[in-house]
Amino acid sequence: MKVDRFQAYLPIIGVIGLIVVWYLAVWYEVVDRVLLPSPTDTFAALWKGATSGRLGFDFWRTVERTTLATLIAAAIAIPLGIFLGAAEKLYRSLEFVIDFFRSTPASAMFPLFLVLFGVGDETKISVAAFGAALVILFNVAYGVMNARKTRLLAAKVMGASRLRVLTDVMLLESLPQTFVGLRNGVSLALVIVVVAEMFIGSTDGLGHLVFESQQLFAMPDMYAAIFAAGALGYGLNLLFLLIERRFVHWSGK
């Protein structure tokens, strides 16, 4: 019991260690003071930005874009993945194309999407959705294709029609893998959105804030925005994990 409680506190040691090293680096001026502000200055900037500054607003803009991109990606990729997974021959014939574009850096698609959608939010969201959709699609299709044969047979032998096998067994069988896809997808969408906010005619978002702070040499603000982006990425991943644990309770069992 005592050991268990100790174990739960272990992750904090790493955080404290990082802050201590950071303080030492600032104290001994290992890095230029301007480039590396102290943790206190940074957290003060984080607090100020979140409560009264732009950080809160930019944070929510990034959340909006990432959420929208992930929702669009999921709405397209999940049904399509189920369809392609159920028609395995069709998936095999498209597999190379899917894998190719999945391996293409989504950032390389910015110019193309700029031509298609202009410099507004549509481009940022659609590139992020494009990247996330391929990741989700691939995972959903594999989840469906790797449905346990015995489970499908069990449903069939009990008299389930092909449609019932799909809705009652394949869909649920693919859920754990679908959540893997969603978690990877939302992480990728966040990466793409933040990059897009830095460069493509942006006026808000965490990426814009990071870039702008750096241009203005407002280093505490820049670090604060980076931490906010990190917290967002971690939070989104955790959120999907919690949803998965709630709805896919059998995952890994």
Partner 1 sequence: MGKESALRPNSGREAPNGSSITLPTTSSSHVTIRGLCKSFGDAIVYDRFDLDIPQGKLVSVFGPNGCGKSTLINMIAGLIPTDAGEILFNGKPLRDIKFGYVFQNYREALFPWLRSIENIEYPLKLMKLSKAERRARTQRLVAHLGVKIDLARYPYELSGGQQQLVSIMRALVVEPEILFLDEPFSALDYEMTLFMRDQLQRIFVETGTTTVLVSHDLEEAVYLADRILLLSRRPAAIADYVHYAAARPRTDATLSQHDFVRVKAHCLEVFQREVRKA
**Closer residue to partner 1, CB minimum distance, 145 or 210:** 145
Nearest approach in angstroms of CB 165 to partner 1 is 10
Handedness of CA 13, 18, 21, 22 (dihedral sign): negative
Nearest residue to 213 (alpha-carbon basis) of 200, 202, 226: 226
Residues in contact with partner 1, shown as a per-residue x/- string from 36 to 75 under the rule CB under 8 A = ----------------------------------------
Nearest approach in angstroms of CB 242 to partner 1 is 18
Contact flag: residue 148 with partner 1 (CB under 8 A): yes
Per CB under 8 A, the list member of 153, 238, 239, 243 interacting with partner 1 is 153
Nearest approach in angstroms of CB 243 to partner 1 is 15
Rounded distance between C-alpha atoms, residue 97 and residue 91, angstroms: 10
Rounded distance between C-alpha atoms, residue 126 and residue 68, angstroms: 9
**Closer residue to partner 1, CB minimum distance, 85 or 205:** 85
Give the range of 47-55, 135-143, 156-164, 188-196 binding partner 1 by CB under 8 A.
156-164
Per CB under 8 A, the list member of 25, 151, 214, 218 interacting with partner 1 is 151
3-state helix, strand, coil in the chain (%, to 5): 85, 0, 15
Total Cβ atoms within 10 A of residue 42: 21
End-to-end CA distance of the chain: 25
Nearest approach in angstroms of CB 87 to partner 1 is 21
Handedness of CA 115, 116, 120, 121 (dihedral sign): negative
Contact flag: residue 154 with partner 1 (CB under 8 A): yes
Rounded distance between C-alpha atoms, residue 54 and residue 48, angstroms: 9
Give the range of 16-24, 107-115, 150-158, 232-240 binding partner 1 by CB under 8 A.
150-158
Nearest residue to 200 (alpha-carbon basis) of 132, 129, 71, 112: 112
Contact flag: residue 243 with partner 1 (CB under 8 A): no
Per CB under 8 A, the list member of 156, 184, 198, 227 interacting with partner 1 is 156
Contact flag: residue 246 with partner 1 (CB under 8 A): no
Give the phi and the psi of residue 206 in degrees, each rounded to 5.
-60, -40
Residues 164-193 that bind partner 1 (CB under 8 A): 164, 168-169, 172, 175
Pair 65, 157: CB distance under 8 Å = no
Nearest approach in angstroms of CB 123 to partner 1 is 39
Nearest residue to 84 (alpha-carbon basis) of 130, 145, 132: 145
Rounded distance between C-alpha atoms, residue 53 and residue 224, angstroms: 11
Contact flag: residue 160 with partner 1 (CB under 8 A): yes
Residues that bind partner 1 (CB under 8 A): 148-151, 153-154, 156-160, 164, 168-169, 172, 175, 248-250, 253
